[in-house]
Chain A
Amino acid sequence: MSDEPAMMPLTSTTVSPEVARIARSLLPAFYDQLKHIAQRARARVGAGSTIQTTALVHEAYLRLRDSREFSDETHFLRAAALAMRHALINHAQARLADKRGGGSLHLTLSHAVDLSIDTDEGMLALHAALERLAVEMPRLADVVECRFFGGYGEEDTARALGISLRTVQRDWLKARAWLYRELTRA
């Protein structure tokens, strides 16, 4: 088990270099914190993690705000969502690699009905689908990144992406529809 998160390239094409830089600096910390959370939750049988990723993002925000790592809050929000997404994906991949003893991964969903994104396979399938969505409708993918992976509310998402609240709401609807359809198609 490697110590470092597998350094996936930050593939979002819609971010500026500044955002990418911030995201890259956030990623390792998020990754480690996720592991920490996951390990801590291990001991309790049947318990899912009660800590949501939003808490991690907020903590990072407070921390970075003090050190003036970024001048624009918008950049931070955008970057954090991106980084959190990749941290979650890395986490899921690492766990799957563990389970399979390092074999190759199959990104199929065995149960079309029970779409539990809480599983590692589900997370990765979602991630792959999102990449495909990003090719077609990048803004929709960005909204998903903020709302689902970053756990942002509608206002924060609007701020992060520089769009109106209404656009966020609409995009969220459309994106979820698209993804749902994509993931339930065999």
Chain B
Amino acid sequence: MGRRIPLMICFVAGILMVIQFFTPPLRSVYEMVLDWYIVILVFALAVGLQTTIYLHVNKVRRRVKGYLYSLVTLVSLVSMATIGLAGGIRQGSWFMWLFEHIQVPLGATMFALLAFFMASAAYRAFRARTLEATLLLVAAVIVMLGRVPIGYFLTKGLPESIQIPAATEWILMYPNMAAKRGIMFGVALGMISTALKVIVGIERGYLGGRR
């Protein structure tokens, strides 16, 4: 029973949503399901929050190495949530001030670190060992040059059709696009088959362990 009801819910919801695409009279059911979907997802945050809070509270309780950092996470979580709930989220609020001067700079800088690691990795590991690796390297270099102003500057004396930016655009629009389209077909067919398996109950990973 613990698994049968969710499997039935999944099946009915899935089949309805497939059929409604071809059946205009089911429009009101479709709109209702879309509404319910959004309302239910509002509570899904609780799942992610619970895992994170549980992890950090446990670290603090057991005083493991680095537990003070977990305390930082918990204090900042509670503070930000309280400030947002109590003070509102409009421009000019403390909530937006913290978002603009702490959350945005931290997030942006974390990803900016990747530029350094990428350069270091390219220097140490990007080797033209095989024909395939050489092709990858050549394509990468052409795109890197063609997508910045220096690419045009270096070849501006040449006819437009063989300048680096034109070569870059051709590579992106034809061989790259062809490869990406081929991959897209495979991924799309995989997504459809997984969706069908979820609807008919073959794929049951979301049900978790036995009960």
Partners in one complex: no
Q: Which residues of B contact A (CB under 8 A)?
A: none
Q: Which residues of A contact B (CB under 8 A)?
A: none
